[in-house]
Structure formats: C-alpha cells, structure tokens
Chain A
Amino acid sequence: MGMSTRLHPLHGLWSLTNRELAKWYKVPVILIISLIQPIVWLAFFGKSMNFATMFTNGLNIPGLNIPKQVIDEVAAEVLKANFGTTDYFSFLAVGMLSFITLFTSLQSGMSIVWDRRLGVLSKLLTTPVPRGNIIMAKVLNSMIRSLVQSTIVLIIAIMLGMKLNPSLNPLDVLGAYAALALMSMGFASLFVTLALRSTSWESQMAIMNLLNMPLMFASNSFYPVKSMPWWLKPIALINPLTYVNDINRQLLLGITGQSLVLDYAYLIAFAVIFSAIGVVLSWRYLSEA
C-alpha cells in the first residue's frame, strides 16, 4: 500500500484534540459554568477573607496604648511571614489558577468513558491512529482548556483587585502558563489512564469528587504549607499544586519562594512520567472493554 510511510506518528492527534475542543467552544454555557466556582471563591471568599482589614481595622487592646502604626506594621509583618505578601487576595488568586486547571484536568477521564459508552472508541480503534494519540488528544484538550480558563480567571482576578508584580515581564507569564500546562498534562494523563478500562462514568465522577477538594486543601492554594499540621505537610509536599502555586506566586506576584529549578523539575517529572505511563498502557488496555 505504501500508506504507512505517509502516516506521521502524531497523525490524528490534532484532529482528535480539535474534536474535543469543538464540543467545548460550541457550547459556551459549559465554559461559563466551569468558571463559576473559582470566581465565587475569588469574589466571595477572597474579598471577604480580608486579613489586612481584620488585623488593622480598629484593633485596640484595652490598657495598652499601642499606636496604630505599630499595629499595622506588626500585621503587615505577620501577613508577609505567612503569605509572602500583605495582599491575601492576590495570594488566593494564584491558587485559583491551579484550582481551575485541576478541575478541568480531572474531567479528562470522563471523556474517555463517554467515548467508550457511546461507541466512538470502537471506531477509533479500527483506524490506523496510534493508540497513544487517542490518549494524548484528551490530555492536550485538557491543557488547552485549562490555560484558556486560567486566563479568564486571571483577568477577572485582576479586575477584582489582584496586584501583579510591578516588574512583571512576558517571560514570567509564559513561565506561569508552562507550570499550569505541566500540571494539567500530569493530572489529565493520570485520570485518562485510570479510565482506560472503565465503562462507568459514575465511578469516574466519584473519583473526581473524592480527589478534587482534598487535593486543593492539601496544597498551598489557600494557605502556606508551614501552617499545616505535621501529618498534612508531606501530602502538600508531593502535591503538584504546591509547586505550581510556588512558581506562579514568584513569577506573577514577585513573592520569594523555593528554588524555581526544583519546582519545574518536579512538574516536568510529574507530567512526563504520567503521560508516558498513559501512552504505554493505552497500547495494551485501550483495545477491549
């Protein structure tokens, strides 16, 4: 036939990704609904959990005549020591970028279950498209959606008062996107892999709901790792969200954190290992239910 020589190893990858994206951008309602949660967190929680006001506004200890300036200075130092900034809203806003990315990526497992249930998968498997590309299309779709949604959340956060690093340059933004993309790649691969043999979307939903909140709260999205109880810290330290937030707070807010090289190395390993596992297992387990 001589056809095989013409087929690129990545052939079909973009068409499959585009298929998923088309479903998404053709129905803007889904996009809007998925943005509600992080925006509610930002607008309701972020705007109300105003530590700066709590510590300074009218704080007075009877009998001690502490000047307001001193109280303000102490409050600022306490906030800086904990959050790296006096601006908790901006701290939280960065956490919300990884929040939307995590939620979007967890859904990738659902889409393969639907493909199986609706019969689409049995068609894909009869075509010469590499099995790994079926998986990676889902992952790529998650990554693109995550970045688009993160951008919208970021814009809304800025409108609500998020203060970016004044010396922000385009490379910082690129670095932040790279961190989010790597995390999305890892989580999406993990969840697609878990769903390779599954025909039950209920079990996928259950896994999603079981993991999303714990993953959020066992990270530095809402509060720093050092304020956690000892038993939660190890979980936070292996949680990729912690690394993404650390990078993004350094790059977008100018807060000092741990080594960026370490952060990126961890995220790259997370993304590469889980996507490689997904591709390898897809050859073996995607075939039949």
Chain B
Amino acid sequence: METAIKAINLTKRYGNFTAVDHINFEVYYGEVFAFLGPNGAGKTTTIKMLTTVTRPTEGTAIVGGYDVIKQPAKVREIIGVTPQEYTSDEDLTGWENLMLVAALYGIPKKEAKERAAELLDLVELSYAADRKVETYSGGMRRRLEIAMGLINRPIILFLDEPTLGLDAQTRAAIWDYVYRLRKQYGTTIFMTTHYLEEADRYAERIAIIDHGKILAIGTPKELKEKVGGDVITIEVSGDVNLARKVIEGIEGVTGVSVDGNTITFKVRNGNTAAPIILEALNKLSIRATSITIKEPTMDEVFLEFTGRRLRDEEGSSEDFMRFMRTIARARR
C-alpha cells in the first residue's frame, strides 16, 4: 500500500518543552488513522506540523508525496483540515463561509457553488445555508467545519478532535458523515481523539501517543492482543482447584485468579481457546455452569501502554483551557 503520510523523526520543541519527540509513522491511502492520547500528548501539535501550520523543529513529514517543510504550498492544496477549534466566521452564513474557503483554494465560482451545495447536502445543513453561523448549534458548526474541510476535495482529511464536546448522538452522526464521505470520495482520514471508544470503533489503525512519543501502533485488534488478549471468566461446579490447575496448564493462559466458584484468566484469543478449555475440563468431569469471553477495552490497552488511565488525565493547563473553551462554544 502506498503511503499518504510518512512522519520521519518529526519533532516540535517549544523552548525546553518537547511537545512531539521524534515520532515516526505511516498512514496508507484510504485508511482511517487515529492518534489516541490525552490532552497535551502532542496530537494537535502533530496535526499542525502535518498541515503546515507549524514548522517542525526537527525531522519532517511527507504528506501526499510532498514535504511539509520544502513544499508547504503543495501540501495545502491537497489536504483538508478541520481544526479542533471552530474556524468558521460567525458573522457570515454557512454558505458564505464555504464560498470563502473555496475562493482561498482558487476554485472557480461556478464549481464552488456546486460543491458547496453538494457538501451542505452531505452534512444535512442545506436548510441552514443562509443563516449566520452564530445561530448554529455545536453539532451544526462541527458539520459545517467538516464541509469546509472538504471543499477542495482533499486527498487527505485531517480531523482534530472532530467530536469534542458533542453529545453522544451528535458524535455518532458526525462519524456517519465521515464514513459517508470516505465512501464517496475515497478520502484518507487522519484524526485525533481522546475518546477511547471512538478510536476503537471508527479507526482502522491507532497510534497511542503520550508525552510526545508514540507508544504503540496497530489495528484496535492488534493492540488488544498485545495487551494479552481476551479475559475469560468461567464458573464451575466441582473441584475449583483442579479446574484451576487444568486451565493453568493450557498454553497461552496467563493471570489466573479464583474467586469462589469463578475462575478468571487472560488468553490471547478467547474464541478459539474456550472450546479447548471446556473440553479439558469435561475430561475431568468438571462442568462449566457459565462462561464469558471479554475483549480488553481500549481503556485497558491505554493503561497497558501508558501506565495510566486516559480518563484521569487533564493535560497541560493551556491545552485544558483551550479544550474547555471549545467545549463551552460547542455547547452554546
């Protein structure tokens, strides 16, 4: 597969603080790639470097075949960006905002009108096209931002926290739009999020980033397997200690614990391991009264790689303030 984005020792320092620390990764054409990490991990700084808004201190990145340092103007032409903060002009209408951005890409007026109409339709904002953006709700604004990011038919779309501060229903709707446009235009999508379940559900590959470093890259399934696989809980009737010994004897089983009649353990692939275990128990006439197989959550994956839970994180105060401001405006 060809590379849409290739980061090579990409680094950004602000004074003594290293926001992004020599990261290397590749994003393939057509995939949905997510940067997962807490606030202040370096996600937004990375997006800013990839979108040529901020110059890397060290290293570089190739985006759509162009170097972000040497050919920033070329990169800007082929990417679409939906920054974390709202960027539309509140005093203009949704339509005027789209037409303005189209003009900045040098799209001829006639074509711009066609695309704007099509995009407003895609994000279901046609009915509000002639309303000032200041009257939009948070979800509407976010949808408009996505439409603005698509006006130049980008090869690669960057979404920085696309669902930040939105309610669950609106978040699902946003993802629906993102997937629809990918289907329609084959756009490569690079996004950042600190919502674990979103990364898990919508991204094809995830990079876990913390303190400016990438700690792991893979599909959600691969990352979960790296953590140690699925958690199986079996309730048995019969000799619990014998059952424990049988289970411990099976290859790939780790972390066995017993609580009353219940045995809990980890295994790489729960779905294939379960029948083997049941059969082994059966031979010794131990009957399983119930069995549950649980995949590890992204929360556990995150804990494994970073040593902390994402939910407890607040990030740097500046990032946090920006985050709160965006939320406040999203909720308005």
Binding site for B on A (CB under 8 A): 1, 3-4, 6-8, 11-12, 14-16, 19, 22-23, 26, 118-120, 122-129, 287-288
Q: What residues of B have a CB within 8 angstroms of the CB of A12 in the complex? A: 103-104, 106
Q: Which of A19, A23, A123 contacts B148 (CB 8 A)?
A: A123
CA distance A127 to B105 in the complex (A): 6
CA distance A26 to B100 in the complex (A): 17
CA distance A99 to B66 in the complex (A): 49
Q: A1-B77, A4-B74, A128-B77 are in contact. Are A15 and B100 (CB under 8 A)?
A: yes
Q: Report whether A1 and B104 are in contact in the complex, using a CB–CB cutoff of 8 Å.
A: no
> Could you give 6 example pairs across A and B, Cβ below 8 Å?
A4-B74, A8-B106, A14-B103, A22-B96, A122-B83, A127-B76
Question: Is B88 on the interface with A (CB-CB < 8 A)?
Answer: yes
Q: A3-B77, A22-B96 are in contact. Are A120 and B87 (CB under 8 A)?
A: yes
What's the least CB distance linking B203 to chain A, in Å? Answer: 22
Q: What residues of A have a CB within 8 angstroms of the CB of B99 in the complex? A: 15
Q: Which of B55, B81, B106 contacts A126 (CB 8 A)?
A: B81
Mark interface residues in B74-104 (1 if CB within 8 Å of A CB, else 0).
1011110101011111111000100111011
CA distance A124 to B85 in the complex (A): 13
Q: Report whether B104 and A19 are in contact in the complex, using a CB–CB cutoff of 8 Å.
A: no
CA distance A119 to B74 in the complex (A): 23
Which of B45-53, B116-124, B240-248, B287-295 lies on the face that meets chain A?
Answer: B45-53
Q: What residues of B have a CB within 8 angstroms of the CB of A8 in the complex? A: 106
What's the least CB distance linking A176 to chain B, in Å? Answer: 32
Assuming A3-B106, A19-B92, A22-B91, what are 17 further A-B pairs, CB within 8 angstroms?
A: A1-B77, A4-B74, A12-B103, A12-B104, A14-B103, A15-B100, A19-B100, A119-B83, A119-B86, A119-B87, A123-B83, A123-B87, A125-B53, A126-B53, A128-B73, A128-B76, A128-B77
CA distance A287 to B53 in the complex (A): 6
Q: Is the interface of A mostly helix, strand, loop or mixed?
A: loop
Count the B residues whose beta carbon is within 8 Å of the partner chain — how many? 32
Q: What residues of A have a CB within 8 angstroms of the CB of B83 in the complex? A: 119, 122-123, 126
What's the least CB distance linking A20 to chain B, in Å? Answer: 10
Number of A-B contacts (CB under 8 A): 84
Q: A3-B106, A22-B92, A128-B105 are in contact. Are A122 and B87 (CB under 8 A)?
A: yes
Q: Which of A11, A23, A125, A287 contacts B106 (CB 8 A)?
A: A11
The B13-51 residues at the A interface (CB cut-off 8 A) are 48, 51
Considering the complex, give the chain B residue whose CB is closest to the CB of A15. Answer: B103
5 A-B pairs with the lowest CB-CB distances in the bound complex, closest first: A123-B87, A15-B103, A119-B85, A126-B81, A127-B104
Question: Is B282 on the interface with A (CB-CB < 8 A)?
Answer: no
What's the least CB distance linking B95 to chain A, in Å? Answer: 12
Considering the complex, give the chain A residue whose CB is closest to the CB of B90. Answer: A118
Interface centre among B78, B88, B103, B104 (most CB of A within 10 A): B104
Q: Report whether B53 and A15 are in contact in the complex, using a CB–CB cutoff of 8 Å.
A: no
Q: Report whether A126 and B52 are in contact in the complex, using a CB–CB cutoff of 8 Å.
A: yes
Considering the complex, give the chain B residue whose CB is closest to the CB of A288. Answer: B54
Considering the complex, give the chain A residue whose CB is closest to the CB of B109. Answer: A15
Considering the complex, give the chain A residue whose CB is closest to the CB of B151. Answer: A127
CA distance A123 to B76 in the complex (A): 11
Q: What residues of A have a CB within 8 angstroms of the CB of B92 in the complex? A: 19, 22-23
What's the least CB distance linking A50 to chain B, in Å? Answer: 43
Mark interface residues in B142-183 (1 if CB within 8 Å of A CB, else 0).
000000100010000000000000000000000000000000
CA distance A119 to B164 in the complex (A): 15
Q: What residues of A have a CB within 8 angstroms of the CB of B91 in the complex? A: 22-23, 26
Q: Report whether A288 and B87 are in contact in the complex, using a CB–CB cutoff of 8 Å.
A: no
What's the least CB distance linking B192 to chain A, in Å? Answer: 15
Q: What residues of A have a CB within 8 angstroms of the CB of B106 in the complex? A: 3, 6-8, 11-12, 128
Q: Report whether A288 and B48 are in contact in the complex, using a CB–CB cutoff of 8 Å.
A: yes
Q: Report whether A129 and B104 are in contact in the complex, using a CB–CB cutoff of 8 Å.
A: yes
Q: Which of B53, B104, B148 contacts A128 (CB 8 A)?
A: B104
